[in-house]
């Protein structure tokens, strides 16, 4: 116990737990049960994109609400394929929007994914940081497309419909027992149907104070995005060509 206890300062992992007889102490048991309940709540909690769209509008950020083919949370969890598709009405609306304006460099999407808690806690600050980072690099961004019950590959459908060069989706990550409020960001060059996860770059654990701050994550993603546009690739191919770190070593 004395050897492990100091290491707890450096990790959220459950190591060196105090014990009471043959089991963990009551305080640790209660903490575990709380973390488990928070993870379940994050997955099952509802998220209203219409309400979030009004928050974005109040913040001066354009938004468009779309819908996946997963019409409720139970369906979303049981049928991942439906979370990767837009319903017909949303797809038609996006294509109509694309036909009336210039195609953006970046199609920016946000979804609750597997943690509505993460989107509610860090969604607005993360979008602000991303839009600022893109703007400073001269990149044109679509209005934020908000989709309830979306999966990562939905970004291919949306990006292709908007004619974007790159699609970026920000969504709630699968919660664990140390964090239920993490956001993940996924970048895909030339979004289109048939892309695989090997063609995406991911930045995960975006949350404060225990992970990457929105500002740090936005700078990392924007750096990847610029390189992706320059080289015409993303995912494994982009990593293989990287000559230097996105951020300097501390």
22 in any annotated domain: no
For residue 31, pLDDT over 80 is answered with yes
User: How much of the chain, in percent, has pLDDT values that exceed 90?
Assistant: 69
Residue 196 lies in a domain: yes
What lies within 8 Å, CB to CB, of 155 at 6+ separation is: 107, 109, 167, 168, 169, 186, 188, 191
- Domain total of the chain: 1
The per-residue pLDDT for 191 is 97
Average pLDDT score over residue span 137-151 = 96
> Is position 7 within any domain?
no
For residue 218, tell me if it sits in a domain: yes
Per-residue pLDDT tens for 79-136? 999 999 999 999 999 999 888 878 999 999 999 999 999 999 999 999 999 999 999 9
Which pLDDT band, with edges at 50, 70 and 90, does 247 fall under?
Answer: low
Please report how many Cα atoms fall inside a 13 Å half-sphere around the Cα of residue 179, on the Cβ side. Answer: 21
At 35-80, the pLDDT tens digits run 889 888 888 888 999 999 999 999 999 999 999 999 999 999 999 9
Specify if 33 maps to a domain: no
DSSP string of 117-182, one letter each residue: HHHHHHHHHHHHHHHHHHHHTT--BPPEEEEET--TTHHHHHHHHHT-SEEEEEEEPPP-SS-S--
On whether the CB atoms of residues 147 and 157 are closer than 8 A, the answer is no
Domain presence at residue 1: no
| pLDDT higher than 80, residue 3 | no
* Of 31, 189, 170, nearest in space to 106 by CA: 189
Range of the domain at 191: 44-237
Q: What is the CATH number of the domain that holds 154?
A: 3.40.50.11240
Is 27 domain-assigned? no
Instruction: Give dist(CA 180, CA 172) in Å, integer.
Output: 9
Mean pLDDT of the region 175-182: 86
Residue 203, in any domain of the structure: yes
The pLDDT tens digits of the residues spanning 196-231 come to 999 999 999 999 888 999 999 999 999 999 999 999
pLDDT of residue 66: 96
């Amino acid at each position: 116990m004395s050897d492990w206890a100091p290491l707890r300062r450096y990790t959220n992992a459950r190591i060196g737990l105090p014990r009471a007889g043959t089991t963990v102490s009551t305080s640790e048991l209660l903490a575990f049960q709380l973390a488990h309940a928070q993870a379940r709540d994050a997955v099952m909690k509802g998220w209203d994109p219409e309400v979030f769209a009004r928050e974005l509008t109040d913040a001066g950020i354009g938004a468009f609400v779309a819908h996946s083919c997963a019409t409720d949370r139970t369906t979303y969890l049981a049928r991942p394929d439906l979370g990767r598709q837009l319903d017909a009405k949303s797809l038609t609306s996006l294509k109509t929007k694309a036909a009336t304006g210039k195609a953006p460099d970046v199609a920016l999407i946000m979804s609750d994914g597997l943690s509505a808690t993460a989107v509610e806690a860090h969604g607005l600050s993360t979008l602000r940081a991303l839009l600022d980072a893109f703007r400073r690099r001269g990149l044109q961004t679509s209005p934020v497309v908000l989709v309830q019950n979306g999966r990562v590959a939905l970004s291919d459908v949306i990006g292709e419909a908007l004619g974007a060069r790159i699609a970026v989706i920000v969504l709630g990550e699968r919660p664990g027992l140390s964090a239920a409020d993490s956001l993940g960001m996924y970048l895909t060059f030339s979004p289109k149907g048939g892309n695989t996860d090997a063609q995406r770059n991911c930045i995960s654990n975006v949350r404060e104070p225990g992970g990457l701050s929105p500002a740090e994550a936005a700078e990392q993603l924007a750096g990847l995005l610029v390189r992706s546009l320059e080289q015409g690739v993303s995912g494994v191919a982009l990593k293989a060509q990287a000559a230097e770190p996105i951020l300097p070593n501390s």
